[in-house]
Amino acid sequence: MFAEAEATHAVGWFLEHAWLIPVIPAVAFFLIIFFGKKMPRGGSEIGIAAMFASFVIAAGTTYQWTQWTHHSEEAIDKTLTWWSSGPLKFAIGQHIDGLAVMALVLVAFISTLVQIYSTEYVRGDRRYTHFFASLTLFSAGMLTMVLAPNMVQFVLGWEIMGLCSFMLIGHWWEEEANARAALKAFFTVRTGDMGLLVGTAMLLAVFGTLDIGGEHGINAMAAAGEFDSKSMLMWTAIALFIAAIGKSGQFPLHTWLPDAMAGPTPVSSLLHSSTMVVAGVFLVARIYPVFHIGLDINVAGHHFNFIAVIGGITILIAAGLAFVQNDIKKVLAYSTVSQLGYMMMGLGVGAWMPAVFHIFTHAFFKCCLFLCAGSIAHTGSHHSFDMKTDMGGLRKKMPVTFVTWVISTAALCGVPFFSGFFSKDEIIDSAHANDYTVFWIVGLIGAFMTTAYMTRATYLTFFGKARGGAAHFVDGHEDHSHDEAADEVHHDIDGHDTHAHPAHDDHHAPLNHGKPLPFAPDDSPWQITAPLILLSFLALVSGYLNAAPFHWHSFEHWLESSIGLPLGEGGIPEPPTFEWVNALPSVVLVLAGFAVSLFLSKKVFFNDEKSPFKGLTERNALLGAGHKFLVNKYYLDALYEGVIVKAIAHPIAKAAYWVNQNVLDGVVNGVGITGRRTGEWMYRNVDQRVVDGVVNGSGATARGAGGALQPVQSGKVSMYGALLFGAAAVGALVLVLVNS
């Protein structure tokens, strides 16, 4: 396939060498681990250089891919045999097509920015070098996954990310909460990974191969119907979808994501924008024919795809939770879950292109929002993420952070002409056009909710009166006399994120790296603001790569061949033609969400003590119950940890162990004791006369050897041994007689 293509068109250098993109950071990981400590900047320079090199190659690959698609739809495969068994061969290498290229450039770009940002954010951290090592390996994992030519390499990248998320979320493991969050993230994802392992085994059974692309790859065979049974394909898709749910934090395995906020903010940013949580969506997009055909469910003559159901539920559930969070990062975390729900729903309703485009645009604005939150905590709010106690009124003090936040928020909410509008609206529009009416409504409600909770968060953070940590910041530079506060903060600048923990972590030793107090009258330093500006710029413009209202479809053209299914009859539906009339409901709802939320925020928070809305949840039982239900995250965590882990797994483990010690081992010990008694009896009555010679012979040998060392029971052992050998000989005789 590749050879033919080469005959007609020259393939660019970058396209042929795209495999370098993950290899560079992977090598850099080892360099940082072994030499990072000795470098002047603690290894961060290696990480940044590697990510930047990856980005340059990814950019070159992207350019050449846009050229390549003028005359060919062929993917560019380059592989080596990784392992083989009998007739099965599994390759490692690259499978470069539109989807892979999009993800490569996205991941490399965002990783580079996040690393630059981190040099300031975690400056002076006690595990600075390890932080960059993990960050680099993390990116390498995601990059390995996106250009995987087969499922085995896909699993490799997928699991490496799992490991790194464990390392990064638990970066400050001295505190038990962080260690627990890391464990929870890894464990929940790992539970989903069960589906990935089994699903991959099922793919092998269904298609006889694990290659993704090519004429005899999974996608082509699934699309052409070259499989034995539809139900088997369905189970395969279900198994794999469980993995996607776990990784992408979809309902009901979304509970680990907010806890994962325990990690440093740059990590959250990377995890939630272009890596890790996107992996699940990416899996569905990558082998889309399997999911599109496999999970197509026919109920009473009406076809619908199961993926849409999970996506739809997730949109609403997560958005609901975002309303009751006081931690700004948790608002964003639930927002990510909800947006991933949009992507899943898009894939479910057959809108592959808009869903993938939403991956693309979402990465920029969500990364930017998280970095803004980090910027606030780093500079403005005394390392706290609690919007209610430590923020407020920051818009004037942190203008860059404020403006970039607002732009990204607008993009997230889907305000027209911001990037999120072009991607999200097309998902909603497709749901409508493809007869998923319920999900169309879900999408619209989701848009309303998104705007509402983001307005609330924006209001709490940037408007109103400065409180707590932010108040120090705001007042600090006006009268330079807040020594007490300054001291306290200076104590804390080892980059530690605190999440509304009332007790500050005073056990951390102060670090002196000659840095001025972070209460400079300006915004955060350039390492932080530069990424913010770049990302918010992209949050503004990236949507125009695929702007349906203007009939700009470059993105679509570049990625079309990755769907694996034809557009139109026998494949997935054509994207709907854009009409402003169809976009109207969502635009109206976004505005409504903004207005309602602003009104409520003003009423509920701070300004007006007499407001009828203030403390409403305490006064109204029904609302109070609803609030409590949300605050407790629908009690899913309680179900998993309290019921499944504590009430089921632990007792089962204990019971199994009891059985082991008392039943199985009891049998062994019983046999031993009986054996010894029998032996004693035998020894007295039979042994002395019958097998005397044998016993003495072997016993003497063993005793000789044993005696040289230490007189431990050797006599007894040799006696048992001799008896057993005797029994063996008799047994053999019996067996032969019986069977011949």
Partner 1 sequence: MHDVLQNQQWLLSLGVFLPLAGVLVMLFIPKSDESTVKGVAILTAAATLLVGIYTMTQFDYGKAGSLQFFTTNNWITPIKATYTIGLDGISLPLYVLSMIITLLVMIYSWDHVPSPGNPKAFFILMLVLQTGMAGTFVAQDLILFFVFFEVVLLPMYFMIGVWGGENRQYASLKFFLYTMFGSALMLVSFIALFVVTRSHAADPEAANFSFKWFLENGADVSKNTAIWIFAGMFIGFAVKVPMFPFHTWLPDAHTQAPTQGSVILAAILLKLGTYGFVRIAIPFLPQAATKWAPVIGILAVIGIIYGALGCLAQTDMKRLIAFSSVAHMGFVMLGIATLTPLGINAALFGMVAHGLITGMLFFIAGSVKERYHTLEIKRLSGLLQQVPKLGWILGMCAMASLGLPGLAGFWGEFPAILSSWNPLHGEGLPYGGLSLSLFRWLTVIAALGTVLAAGYLLWLYQRTAFGNPTAEFAGLGADGDHGHDAHGHDAHGADAHGDDAHGEGGHELLHDVNKFEWIAWTPLLIAIVVFGVLPQLMFKLFDPGVVELVKVFGGK
Output 626 or 721, the one with its CB closest to partner 1. Answer: 721
Restricting to residues 336-365, which ones interact with partner 1 according to CB under 8 A? none
Alpha-carbon gap, residue 496 to 498, rounded angstroms = 6
Q: State the minimum distance, in angstroms, from the CB of residue 414 to partner 1.
A: 37
> Do the Cβ atoms of 378 and 280 come closer than 8 Å?
no
Identify the helix (H) or strand (E) that includes residue 643: none
> Do the Cβ atoms of 21 and 108 come closer than 8 Å?
yes
Output 162 or 280, the one with its CB closest to partner 1. Answer: 162
* Sole window of 391-399, 429-437, 482-490, 701-709 interacting with partner 1 (rule: CB under 8 A): 701-709
Alpha-carbon gap, residue 4 to 282, rounded angstroms = 29
Q: Is 595 in the site for partner 1 (CB under 8 A)?
A: no
Among 17, 41, 126, 504, binds partner 1 (CB under 8 A): 126
Residue with structure tokens 């539809």? 230
Restricting to residues 596-625, which ones interact with partner 1 according to CB under 8 A? none
Would you tell me how many other CB atoms lie within 10 Å of the CB of residue 581? 7
Output 623 or 732, the one with its CB closest to partner 1. Answer: 732
Whether omega before 252 lies within 30 degrees of 0, making that bond cis, reads yes
* Sole window of 113-121, 360-368, 437-445, 706-714 interacting with partner 1 (rule: CB under 8 A): 706-714
Output 218 or 351, the one with its CB closest to partner 1. Answer: 218
Question: Rounded to a whole number, what is the largest CA-CA distance in the chain?
Answer: 106
Output 202 or 281, the one with its CB closest to partner 1. Answer: 202
**372's tokens:** 């803004």
* Sole window of 282-290, 374-382, 395-403, 732-740 interacting with partner 1 (rule: CB under 8 A): 732-740
Restricting to residues 675-694, which ones interact with partner 1 according to CB under 8 A? 675
Would you tell me how many other CB atoms lie within 10 Å of the CB of residue 169? 28
Overall residue count recorded for the chain in this entry: 740
Output 170 or 469, the one with its CB closest to partner 1. Answer: 170
Output 8 or 740, the one with its CB closest to partner 1. Answer: 740
Output 37 or 557, the one with its CB closest to partner 1. Answer: 37
Q: State the minimum distance, in angstroms, from the CB of residue 739 to partner 1.
A: 4
Among 174, 226, 522, 692, binds partner 1 (CB under 8 A): 174
Restricting to residues 499-518, which ones interact with partner 1 according to CB under 8 A? 508-509, 511
Q: Is 187 in the site for partner 1 (CB under 8 A)?
A: yes
Q: What's the gap between Cα 740 and its chain centre?
A: 63
Alpha-carbon gap, residue 96 to 102, rounded angstroms = 10
Restricting to residues 131-170, which ones interact with partner 1 according to CB under 8 A? 152, 155-156, 159-160, 162-163, 166, 170
Residue with structure tokens 């996608």? 219
> Do the Cβ atoms of 375 and 395 come closer than 8 Å?
no
**47's tokens:** 């990480």
Q: State the minimum distance, in angstroms, from the CB of residue 740 to partner 1.
A: 6
Among 45, 49, 59, 190, binds partner 1 (CB under 8 A): 190
Site string for partner 1, 48-87 (x = CB under 8 A): ---------------------------------xxxxxxx
> Do the Cβ atoms of 576 and 430 come closer than 8 Å?
yes
Alpha-carbon gap, residue 630 to 637, rounded angstroms = 12
**51's tokens:** 């990510």
Restricting to residues 226-285, which ones interact with partner 1 according to CB under 8 A? none
Among 623, 643, 686, 705, binds partner 1 (CB under 8 A): 705
Q: Is 704 in the site for partner 1 (CB under 8 A)?
A: no
Alpha-carbon gap, residue 691 to 686, rounded angstroms = 7
**231's tokens:** 């139900």
Output 420 or 495, the one with its CB closest to partner 1. Answer: 495
Among 20, 56, 204, 598, binds partner 1 (CB under 8 A): 204
**564's tokens:** 């694996």
Output 182 or 353, the one with its CB closest to partner 1. Answer: 182
Restricting to residues 381-420, which ones interact with partner 1 according to CB under 8 A? none
Output 198 or 403, the one with its CB closest to partner 1. Answer: 198
> Do the Cβ atoms of 441 and 434 come closer than 8 Å?
no
Range list of β-strands (E), 493-592: none
3-state secondary structure of 567: strand
Alpha-carbon gap, residue 386 to 401, rounded angstroms = 17
Task: Tell me the one-letter amino acid at 623.
Answer: L
Output 571 or 721, the one with its CB closest to partner 1. Answer: 721
Alpha-carbon gap, residue 180 to 309, rounded angstroms = 31
Q: State the minimum distance, in angstroms, from the CB of residue 684 to partner 1.
A: 20
What is the rounded radius of gyration, in angstroms, for the C-alpha atoms of the chain? Answer: 31
Restricting to residues 635-664, which ones interact with partner 1 according to CB under 8 A? 649-650, 652-654, 656-657, 660, 664
Site string for partner 1, 16-35 (x = CB under 8 A): -----------------xx-
* Sole window of 67-75, 199-207, 278-286, 324-332 interacting with partner 1 (rule: CB under 8 A): 199-207
How many alpha carbons lie under 13 Å from residue 559 in its C-beta half-sphere?
Answer: 22
Alpha-carbon gap, residue 328 to 735, rounded angstroms = 75
